Amino acid sequence: MAAAARGIFLPVYLVVVLLASSYKRWTKNPQLNAFVRGVAAAATGAIAGAVIVLARRSVPTILICQSCRAVSMEGSRARTDRLGGGCGSSAGHP
């Protein structure tokens, strides 16, 4: 697990640290600024697209889970009623 985290975060960290010294020179470059704005917009669009795809796939799963829970709750109520318990039941109480 630690190796995977290093493999993901270490390269990005090193790029930021190594390029930080020349950052001030690049901030005044209009072409580079336009490129960075475009990359940021593309990344935002890619993330939004992934969210939409994942949301479409998860809605049926959520509905299935809710249906199973409802059926499970009905089954437990039926067992409780057969045993004489349940909400508002006075079975076994004088």
- Who's near 91: CB < 8 A, 6+ residues apart? 84, 85
Q: Is residue 41 part of a domain?
A: yes
Whether residue 63 lies inside any domain: the answer is yes
- Model confidence over 20-78: pLDDT tens digits? 888 778 888 999 899 989 999 999 999 999 998 888 887 777 778 788 887 777 666 55
Top pLDDT among 69 and 81 is at 69
Q: Is residue 68 part of a domain?
A: yes
**What is the per-residue pLDDT for 10?**
92
Domain that holds residue 54: 30-82
6 C-beta neighbours (distance < 10 Å), count: 11
The conformation of residue 20, written as its DSSP 8-state character, comes to G
Residue 55 falls inside a structural domain? yes
- The answer to the question of residue 25 being in a domain is no
Number of domains in the chain: 1
In a domain, 69, yes or no: yes
Residue 94 or 48, more confident: 48
- As a whole number, mean pLDDT of residues 1-17 equals 87
